[in-house]
Chains A and B, each alone.
Chain A
Amino acid sequence: MNFKTWIKTITFYDILVGMKATMSHLLHYRSITLQYPHEKRTLPDNYRGMLALLRYDDGTEKCVGCDLCEAACPSRVIRVVSAEVPGEPTKRYSKEYYMDMTRCLFCGMCVDACPVDALGMTREFEWAVYDKRQLHLNKEQLLAIGDRSFPVREKQLELQHPNVAFFNVAFKNLPQKPV
């Protein structure tokens, strides 16, 4: 141990350096935390929050009951019971749609998989509940989340543009190709 190290040891030099650091934080105090329930941080644009089912602007559900979201889900959150639309044999819808949000990891793969953009990720994240059964959501609850998070709805598929996907549109509603 040379003389310089010895002096540093007996004067607690390293401890004093640390105390200087804490004191400078006290003097230049600027909090990096937020008072959470009162202040909330701004979420990033691509924030992936609570999942929701969406509707068209006339109030009909977008979901066509194709089960692709159920197949895409890595955590087996989604369960779809598909059925025909009564009176329209070519058109299907999801008779029942369940999401077990206790297992969801918010990867967004179901949203990517959906062919008709019937699923969306909202910016809601305050979903703490006292009973975890409350996180087993049915179709009405998911549609309600979509209604309050996406007030601007898309038009029916066949009314958007003639070149939009043709499948799953009732024959009587097929847009006419311009001749």
Chain B
Amino acid sequence: MTVDMWKKVPVREQDPKVRAANFDEVCLGYNKEEAEAEAQRCLNCKNPFCVQGCPVSINIPGFIARVKEGDVAGAYEVISQSSALPAVCGRVCPQESQCEGKCVRGIRGEAVSIGKLERYVADTAREMGIKPTVTAEKKNKKVAVIGSGPAGLTCAGDLARLGYDVTIFEALHKAGGVLVYGIPEFRLPKDAVVEKEIENVRALGVKIETDVVIGKSVTIDSLMKDEGFEAVFIGSGAGLPRFMHIPGEQAMGVFSANEYLTRSNLMKAFREDSRTPIMRAKKTVVVGGGNVAMDAARTALRLGSEVHIVYRRSEEELPARKEEVEHAKQEGIIFDLLTNPVEIHADENGWVKGITCIRMELGEPDASGRRSPIPVEGSEFYIECDAVIMSLGTSPNPLISSTTAGLEINRRKCIVADEANGQTSKAGVFAGGDAVTGAATVILAMGAGKAAAKGIDEYLSSL
């Protein structure tokens, strides 16, 4: 295979027309030949900027060098030292703004396709039956991890490698957090990928207890006092969905993206034989421009709906990953940009029949540095639709903060934790991920889980 050193080896994808009607994975990944060809493009820099761009500091040139030699097991071992979820990260990380964003190749051409190579290594290792290994001696110290999403799994995996006795408590009936309830099958296959990554974390000795809502079923104080946990990591995720508080939001057919995605992903409502219902709309308006909005829109599309994304700023400000926006467009999702809803209308039976929106224009930059959208007076217009999905982010869930004495929260009600080691205001209690930052990305949560594992190890070693 000849390699154009300036360009990425293209990755095979399902045809947009075909995939718009199924829930199979969109990206098909590299095969051996493609991966080894792409690996040739890595310059193996002495001072690798890509590693600095990675929130969990994977030795990127190190694993790519092994891919080049055809040593997948070796490459997997290198990645495993830094990441417990490579098959996930290879799929959902925003590489363009992290590792690949820093790649020297990217200065004059295209960056090395690090994400796709990571995915290739993780997928191939799984097919070969390679499992991560634990070498550390058992420490006989119990650590509780709250939440089995990316932050929790990473923290638990790292602590288990250090020899700690780790139990993850998960509120839902299935482990995985946002990887299971939030990110759709077509972006992250559940049985083939997520389930296997969680099995790998279990293989390190981590126990997972599902159906436990911390703050309700048991409190953090009780875990430490009565159940012998010497440290606790809170990785409980983002929380309650936000709504716009506009007229008509209670109409039937208005959903939060969380509800819509949970029904489809966790409860498998996209399958015809699922016991959990989901609305199969004719025309859906998704409000918001983040990755979650793209996921909800592309799910609605696959369930047979025409889909419009309504976002108040312009394309440039869309918070979603470029790749997700591109995929959504290819599949036929219509973007109504610089548009904001003002009222949802219901028919005489209470079902959504349309939404009134107003055109926006961009003004001066606001606190976030983005130009703030301003309504254009008199520009209201009507979009007929039978479903509206609100994807406006989340506000923190108070279940843990309100039941844990001495746990400081900030003005936005997020848990206050030291970025370097996850330490909270309460001794022995650490936190990271969306519970601390508000809704962010899988890899940032993993980075926080990783930092907290180190913090917990230092704390317990100092006792």
Are both chains from one complex? no
Q: Chain A interface (Cβ within 8 Å of chain B)? A: none
Q: Chain B interface (Cβ within 8 Å of chain A)? A: none
